[in-house]
A and B are shown apart, each in its own frame.
Chain A
Amino acid sequence: MHFIRDDTIRRLHEEPLYRLDHVSHRYPDGTQALRDVSLGLYRGDRVALVGRNGSGKTTLVRLLAGLLPCGEGEIRCRGQVLQGELSPQQRARVGVLFQDPDDQLFCNTLNDDVAFGPLNLGLGEDEVERRVVRCLQQVGLLALRYKPAHHLSYGQKKRAAFAAIMAMEPEVLILDEPTANLDPRQEQVFKELLSDYQGTLLVIDHDLLFLYDLCQRAVVMSKGEVHHDYSFAELVSQPAYLREHGLDFTFRFSCCGGHHHSHSNGDGQRHSHHLPSHDHGDGRQHTPPAAVQTPLLELQHYSFRYPDGTLGLDDVNLAVHRGDRLALVGENGAGKSTLAACLLGLQRGEGYFFFDGQLVPNRGRPGELWRRVGIVFQNAADQLFNPSCREEVAFGPQRLGLRGAELQRRVEESLTRVRLEGFADKVPLNMSGGERKRLAIAAALAMEPEVLILDEPTAGLDPHGEELLLGILGELDLTTVLISHDLFFIGELSERTVVMHQGAIIRDYRTTHFLTDEHLHSINGLDYSYKMECGTRILALQNGSIGA
Chain B
Amino acid sequence: MEIHLSWVQALGGTLAVALPLALALFLLRRFVRAGRRDGESDWTVSAVDDHGHGSSSFHRWDARCKLIGLLLFAFAAAALSSLALALAALAISLAAALACRIPMRGALRRLLAMSGFLLMLLLVIPFTAASRPGETLLYFPGLPGLPFHVGGLLLALTIVCKASAVALLMEPLFATAPLTVTLAACARLGVPESLGRMVLLCHRYIFVFLHEMSRMYRSMRVRGFVPATDLATANAVGNFLGMLFVRSFERTGRVYEAMLCRGYRGTFPSSATFTATASDYAKTFCWVMLGAALITLDLLRLLPW
- Taking a contact as CB atoms under 8 Å apart, the answer to whether A120 and B243 are in contact is no
Distance A371 CA – B225 CA, assembled complex (angstroms): 11
A108 touches B49 (CB 8 A): yes
Interchain CB contact under 8 A, B271 and A384: no
Judge whether A429 and B262 touch: CB under 8 Å.
no
A142 to B107, CA, bound (A): 31
Cβ–Cβ < 8 Å partners of B221 in chain A: 346, 370
For chain B, what secondary structure do more than half of its interface residues adopt (helix, strand, loop), or is it mixed?
helix
Chain A 345-363, CB-CB to B under 8 Å as 1, else 0, gives 0111000000000000001
Q: Is A119 an interface residue, CB under 8 A from the partner?
A: yes
Nearest opposing residue in chain B for A117, CB measure:
B262
Contact A307 B36 (CB under 8 A): yes
Q: Are A119 and B269 in contact (CB-based, < 8 A)?
A: yes
A112 to B264, CA, bound (A): 13
B200 adjacent to chain A (CB < 8 Å): yes
Q: Interface code A304-318, partner B: CB below 8 Å = 1, 0 otherwise? A: 000111000000000
Q: Does A375 contact B (CB under 8 A)?
A: yes
Chain B residues whose C-beta falls within 8 Å of the C-beta of A106 in the assembled complex: 201, 204-205, 255, 258-259
Say yes or no: is A500 at the interface (Cβ < 8 Å to chain B).
no
Query: Once the chains bind, are B218 and A102 in contact (CB under 8 Å)?
Result: no
Given contact pairs A96-B261, A386-B239, A398 touches B203 in the complex (Cβ within 8 A): no
A149 at the interface (CB under 8 A from B): yes
Flag if A364 contacts B215 (CB, 8 Å): no
B178–A363 CB distance below 8 A: no
For B30, the chain A residues whose CB sits under 8 A away are none
Interface pair B222/A344, CB less than 8 Å apart: yes
A387, B224: Cβ atoms closer than 8 Å: no
Stretch at the interface among A69-77, A86-94, A183-191: A86-94
Q: How far in angstroms is the closest Cβ of chain B from A543?
A: 42
A-B contacts counted at CB < 8 A amount to 164
Which of B40-48, B149-157, B167-175 has 4 or more CB atoms under 8 Å from chain A?
B40-48
Q: Which residues of B contact A115 (CB under 8 A)?
A: 269, 271
Q: Is the Cβ of A103 less than 8 Å from the Cβ of B251?
A: yes
Cβ contact of B44, chosen from A120, A307, A365, A373, cutoff 8 A: A307
Contact with B along A104-134 (1 / 0, CB 8 A): 1111110010011101110001001000000
How distant is A349 from chain B, measured CB to nearest CB, in Å? 8
Known: A379-B215, A399-B225, A443-B223. A65 touches B39 (CB 8 A): no
Q: How many residues in A have their beta carbons less than 8 Å from beta carbons of B?
A: 71
B2 within 8 A of A: no
Interface membership of B257, Cβ < 8 A:
yes
Q: What is the minimal beta-carbon distance from A312 to any residue of chain B, in angstroms?
A: 12
- Which A residues are CB-close (under 8 A) to B240? 385
Contacts of A348 in B (CB 8 A): 37-40
Task: Report if B246 contacts A (CB, 8 A).
Answer: yes
Instruction: Across the interface, name the chain A residue whose C-beta is closest to B203.
Output: A108
- Beta-carbon nearest neighbor of B35 in chain A: A307
In the complex, the chain A residue whose C-beta lies closest to that of B50 is A148
Partner of A146, one of B53, B258, B261: B53
Contact status A116-B49, CB under 8 Å: no
Q: Which residue of B lies closest to A371 (CB)?
A: B224
- Contact between chains at B254 and A120 (CB < 8 Å): no
Q: Interface readout for B182-219 with A: 1 if CB under 8 Å, 0 if not?
A: 00000000000000000011011101100110011011
Top 5 A-B pairs ranked by shortest CB distance? A399-B224, A120-B263, A88-B263, A119-B269, A396-B223
User: Told that A103-B251, A115-B271 touch, could you supply 15 new A-B pairs with CB distance under 8 A?
Assistant: A89-B263, A94-B261, A100-B254, A102-B208, A103-B254, A106-B201, A116-B269, A309-B35, A346-B221, A375-B222, A383-B216, A385-B240, A387-B242, A396-B224, A443-B223
